Amino acid sequence: MDLTEDGPSTAPEFESWVGDFTDAGFFAWMSVFKAEILVAGALDRDLKERVGVPLNWCEVLSRLSAAPGARMRMQELADEVLLSKSGVSQLVTAMARKGLVERQGDPANLRVTYAALTPVGRTTLEKSAPVFLGGIRELFSRHLTDSEIRTVTRAMNKVISATGREPENPDRPRPL
């Protein structure tokens, strides 16, 4: 914990640096924490019920479809969906069992494995994407003004960057 730098909303100097369960930053965090869990949960139930595919799978399908050749290295995929290497390995195994993705080796570099979208996977993506996007709108963005959407995005992207990860890049969108 570095106490020498001051952020934008640091408490006055005569207060403890720790803050307490009553400060505004704490409630802001709690609001993000709860909103994410509730919306992601509802989204996941929706997708399972209406398309038979969990939120995670939907994310993977959408990322693969946006990648060149509709495929990605396991490592890279793990990074994008915020899963561990082993997590992605198991996930891809499960999705492959359903025929949505396919493992492909690279003859030029025998160390890497690609996860590749199959035609069935693409069809499933086309079915799930409207539910996914509609859910995000109904559960989340519908309740915010354009200005709030901009502020929230900017604020959360700063938080993401501070962890050393890349925020989502709107200039590299995911076409359907």
Partner DNA sequence: CAAGATTGATCGATCAATCTTG
9 touches, from DNA, a second copy, none (C-beta below 5 to 8 Å by class): a second copy
Torsions phi, psi for 114 (to 5 deg): -105, 145
141 part of the interface to a second copy, by CB under 8 A:
yes
State the Cα–Cα distance between residues 93 and 24, nearest whole angstrom: 44
Q: 57 vs 60, 111, 125, 167, CA distance in Å?
A: 5, 25, 9, 20
Sheet of 101-105, strands arranged across? 71-73, 113-117, 101-105
Which of positions 83-122 make contact with a second copy (CB under 8 A)? none
117 part of the interface to DNA, by CB under 7 A:
no
Q: How many residues bind DNA (CB under 7 A)?
A: 27
Q: How far is the CB of 126 from a second copy (least distance, A)?
A: 12
Interface with a second copy (CB under 8 A), residue from 25, 52, 87, 105? 25
Among the candidate windows 92-100, 102-110, 114-122, 144-152, which touches a second copy by CB under 8 A?
A: 144-152
Question: Could you tell me if 115 and 71 are in contact, meaning their C-beta atoms sit under 8 angstroms apart?
Answer: yes
Interacting residues toward DNA by CB under 7 A = 45, 54, 56, 73-76, 82-94, 103, 109-114
